[in-house]
Amino acid sequence: MENHKLATRVTSIRVSPSVAAAQKVRDLKAQGREILNLTVGEPDFDTPDTIKSAAVAAIAEGDTKYTAVNGTEELRKAVRHDFSKRLGIECDLDRICVGGGAKQILFVAMMATVETGTEVIVPAPYWVSYPDMVVANGGTPVIVPCGEEVGFKLTPDALEAAITPQTRWVVLNSPSNPTGAAYTGAELRALADVLLRHPQVLVMCDEIYDRIWYADFATESILGVAPELGEQALVVNGVSKSYAMTGWRIGYAVGPKFLIDAINKLQSQMSSCPSSISQAAAAAALTGLQESVDASVEVYRARRDRAHALINAIPGLSCSLPDGAFYLYPCCAGVLGKTTPDGDKIETDLDFVLYLLEQAGVASVHGGAYGMEPYFRISTATSMEVIEAACAKIAEAVASLS
């Protein structure tokens, strides 16, 4: 095995920290430990029956063959209708691509455009995979800290300052994983004005959580508020989070035709096309009644509110109120420098997360994985009982520090 060498694109990137955290939980449970798991970025609801029925019908009708590389016309029409109705984005079908999850589209879009010398602006806190996607494709992630004082959001001045002649992309994630922060229409318009002054810079809008929304302002997309960005903006979404369809692996995007064509060209050599059955289910999800989405959002909202209150009641911890998604990103600055009952000092958010795991049996992900310390991410895609029990354990563990 020592004679075999892996490519730099593999050796230069990390295993996803959130995936690693979830595996750690599985390992501890296999050892008999009782773990309250707040790491999972996956809905705990089941896929709605109407969507399952559409998949069963597709199988029964023989819809089990290859589709077009960029997806079935039925699904692309459903995507076009959804973008138009909800976000005011108008586009032709040839500007829509479909892939094996939003994550695949994000990666392939970078594969199509990023190479050695390319810079990609990644606001922090960021979803763990963005920087590694850039590195895997030979580029350089330019991390722009966006702290709690600016709502964990990229400002126009920070964007302008980060742009160089080498900049190819800026990544926007709204609502955000891990913070739940979402951009208002006015904030998106201000960022669009900067981008329009730099037509060589593309904007990758990851909006996978945009139906899981709690804010008192409307859900908007940069391409909806600034349609003149049509040659610069790639808006990526999918059915995984909103419809509890993570395992179905369907994502989609609207963007400039040159980029959509490049994504389709690469996908034709990678996976040929997404699953025909999953595409039928996704089309049914987008065109059907949305009661299941609305109901799940209200459950997530109640969990968010309860977790937010419980975390903020713990001395040394504080947490802003998320606008969307199903995460909280509490600050743990108030416990740094303290000592555990075993005599170990809590010096970083990673130390704190490991302490919670060992002392309290509560699994979370440290803020350093998302590019900003000292924070930690907890997921509310779990039952209220688990959330309340975990927060009680966290409170006990913090109280044990000296």
Could you read off the pLDDT of 237-289 as tens digits, one per residue? 999 999 999 999 999 999 999 999 999 999 999 999 999 999 999 999 999 99
Topology, domain 62-287: Aspartate Aminotransferase; domain 2 (3.40.640)
Q: Say if residue 29's pLDDT is above 80.
A: no
**What digits encode the pLDDT tens for the residues 279-292?**
999 999 999 999 99
Q: Where does CATH 3.90.1150.10 sit in the chain?
A: 8-46+292-399
Q: How far apart are CA 33 and CA 358, in angstroms?
A: 10
Whole-number Cα distances in Å, 374 to 20, 37, 279, 380: 19, 20, 41, 20
Residue that is written with structure tokens 């509890």 in the block: 244
Ranges assigned E (strand) in 164-284: 167-173, 202-206, 233-238, 251-254
DSSP helix, strand, coil percent of the chain (3-state; round to 5) = 45, 15, 40
CATH number of 8-46+292-399: 3.90.1150.10
Residues paired with 121 in a beta bridge: 142, 170
Q: Say if residue 13's pLDDT is above 90.
A: no
Q: What is the mean pLDDT of the chain?
A: 96
Q: Say if residue 38's pLDDT is above 60.
A: yes
**What digits encode the pLDDT tens for the residues 105-163?**
999 999 999 999 999 999 999 999 999 999 999 999 999 999 999 999 999 999 999 99
Sequence letter at residue 209? Y
Q: Where does CATH 3.40.640.10 sit in the chain?
A: 62-287
Count of alpha carbons within 13 Å of 22, Cβ hemisphere only?
A: 10
Q: How far apart are CA 87 and CA 222, in angstroms?
A: 9
Average pLDDT over residues 13-22: 74
Ranges assigned E (strand) in 75-145: 96-99, 119-124, 140-145
Ranges assigned E (strand) in 17-112: 36-37, 96-99
Q: What is the DSSP letter of 236?
A: E
Q: How far apart are CA 7 and CA 264, in angstroms?
A: 24
**What digits encode the pLDDT tens for the residues 302-345?**
999 999 999 999 999 999 999 999 999 999 999 999 999 999 99
Residue that is written with structure tokens 């963007």 in the block: 255
pLDDT of residue 264: 98
Q: How far apart are CA 170 and CA 163, in angstroms?
A: 9
Q: What is the DSSP letter of 297?
A: H
Q: Say if residue 71's pLDDT is above 90.
A: yes
pLDDT of residue 334: 98
Chain center to CA of 52: 24
- The H or E element spanning position 366 is strand 365-366
pLDDT of residue 2: 65
Q: What is the DSSP letter of 320?
A: P
Number of H-type helices and E-type strands within the chain: 14, 12
Give SS3 for 289.
coil
